[in-house]
Amino acid sequence: MIEQALVFVENLAFVSALRNSTFMYPLVNAGHIFGVALLVGGIVPLDLRLLGLWRHYPVMVFVDVLRVTAALGLAMAVVCGALLFATAASDYAGSQLFQAKMVLVLLGVANALILGRVLRRLDIRSLPMTAVMPVSLRGGALLSLVVWVGVLVLGRLLGYF
């Protein structure tokens, strides 16, 4: 049943066209990488600020700007990643590297949602600017760093295994 659905996706006209296109496939791949760049480029400085770097800059500046940057990047990576997946759905679905990558993406999204709730509950704007962040935030930031870098590395490895 799942196998049939994957083959059906692979055989969709626009997916076949994408797979066989000299320009579109690399363009979608570039879109995926651009999304990854925005996501990781937003997440890394935000998490490092939560972990205690650059404490002379207000934490909410990092949160307000970089959260949106990272969310836009994730949306782009997911849309372009789904298109790349569709071109060889059966192979990717059977790959343990790909499965591990998807588990980490879900973990990263869940962790980001929880971090967002903790930030709202703690009313972080009222803390002194140079305050060390509560341990719940620092733990979440560390997990976020490890998970998103892990997703990036697994994504790159997919091309080799």
Q: Which residues bind ligand HEM (CB under 6 A)?
A: 29, 32-33, 36, 39-40, 77-78, 81-82, 84-85, 92, 105, 148, 151-152, 155-156, 158-159
Output the smallest distance, CB 160 to ligand HEM, in A: 8
| Nearer CB in complex with ligand HEM: 77/141 | 77
Closest CA to 115 of 54, 33, 59, 35: 59
Output the smallest distance, CB 139 to ligand HEM, in A: 20
Output the smallest distance, CB 132 to ligand HEM, in A: 28
Output the smallest distance, CB 154 to ligand HEM, in A: 7
Q: Distance (Å, rounded) from C-alpha 6 to C-alpha 85?
A: 10
Q: Maximum distance among all alpha carbons in the chain?
A: 57
| Nearer CB in complex with ligand HEM: 24/122 | 24
| Nearer CB in complex with ligand HEM: 60/106 | 106
| Nearer CB in complex with ligand HEM: 62/148 | 148
Q: Distance (Å, rounded) from C-alpha 83 to C-alpha 65?
A: 28
- CB under 8 A, 24+ apart: contacts of 10-15: 10/86, 10/87, 10/88, 10/89, 10/90, 12/86, 15/83, 15/86, 15/87
